[in-house]
């Protein structure tokens, strides 16, 4: 007969009429064999971690997911020397290599080039983004202590901040509003017009 036939052969009918094999009696089985045959009915879940993993790279990229107990500051066991300047509070102490790579890759992509042309009228160099990424990789893979790495990252951000502040500003084009020059009712009706 062909494989498409709906009729069954005698061997198939005999196999279907036999009852399923019965498991051996439990009194002859050891405890592990019984557990294999009859697993517990209550679902087991993996134990929850007691603390969140310490991944400053992840939390720097996603600060809204950082636990409230997470702090980028490290315990300072050694007394600071007077020549060391204190860590600046407004500059970050960690750098996300993942975020730096994403920024550099996007800058080099078609969408990044489109943004450059739209915003600045020309293509801009992505070398600063790639320099940030490679700096981050060098710092993360160095054998320096954590405090030294934090200082290196802060120094990098300090240099970038100084470069931005020394460059041109929008105040070169627009005059800063002084006291009493604020816009009032910008989205309201014009003065003297009544509501219809």
Q: What percent of the chain is predicted at pLDDT more than 70?
A: 51
Q: Which of 19-23, 32-36, 83-87, 165-169 has the highest mean pLDDT?
A: 165-169
Q: What tens digit of pLDDT does each residue of 29-74 get?
A: 555 555 555 555 555 555 444 444 566 666 666 665 666 655 544 4
**What contacts 24+ positions apart, CB below 8 Å, involve 130-136?**
130/104, 132/95, 132/100, 132/103, 132/104, 132/156, 133/97, 133/100, 133/101, 133/103, 133/104, 135/95, 135/100, 136/95, 136/96, 136/97, 136/100
pLDDT of residue 172: 78
Q: Is the pLDDT of residue 93 over 80?
A: yes
pLDDT category at 101 given cuts 50, 70, 90 is very high
**Token digits of residue 74:** 């490290």
How many CA atoms lie less than 13 Å away from 45 in the CB half-sphere?
3
Task: Say what the pTM is.
Answer: 0.46
Average pLDDT of the segment spanning 114-123 = 93
94 vs 184 pLDDT, higher one:
94
Q: Decide which of 46 and 3 is more confident.
A: 3
Question: Percent of the chain beyond pLDDT 90?
Answer: 36
Q: Is the pLDDT of residue 104 over 90?
A: yes
CA 46 and chain centroid, separation: 24
Say how far apart CA 165 and CA 93 lie, in whole Å.
20
């Amino acid at each position: 007969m062909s494989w498409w036939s709906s009729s069954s052969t005698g061997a198939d009918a005999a196999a279907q009429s036999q009852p399923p094999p019965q498991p051996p009696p439990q009194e002859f089985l050891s405890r592990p064999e019984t557990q294999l045959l009859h697993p517990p009915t209550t679902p087991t879940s993996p134990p929850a971690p007691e603390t969140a993993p310490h991944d400053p790279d992840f939390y720097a990229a996603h600060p809204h997911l950082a636990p409230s107990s997470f702090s980028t500051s490290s315990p300072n066991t050694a007394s600071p020397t007077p020549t060391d300047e204190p860590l600046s509070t407004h500059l970050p102490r960690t750098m996300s290599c993942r975020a730096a790579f994403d920024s550099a890759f996007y800058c080099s992509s078609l969408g990044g080039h489109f943004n450059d042309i739209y915003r600045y009228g020309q293509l801009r160099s992505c070398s600063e983004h790639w320099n940030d990424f490679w700096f981050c990789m060098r710092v993360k893979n160095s054998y320096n202590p954590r405090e030294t790495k934090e200082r290196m990252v802060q120094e990098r951000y300090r240099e970038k901040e100084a470069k931005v502040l020394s460059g041109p500003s929008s105040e070169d084009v627009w005059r800063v509003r002084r006291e009493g020059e604020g816009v009032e009712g910008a989205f309201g009706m014009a003065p003297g017009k009544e509501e219809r």
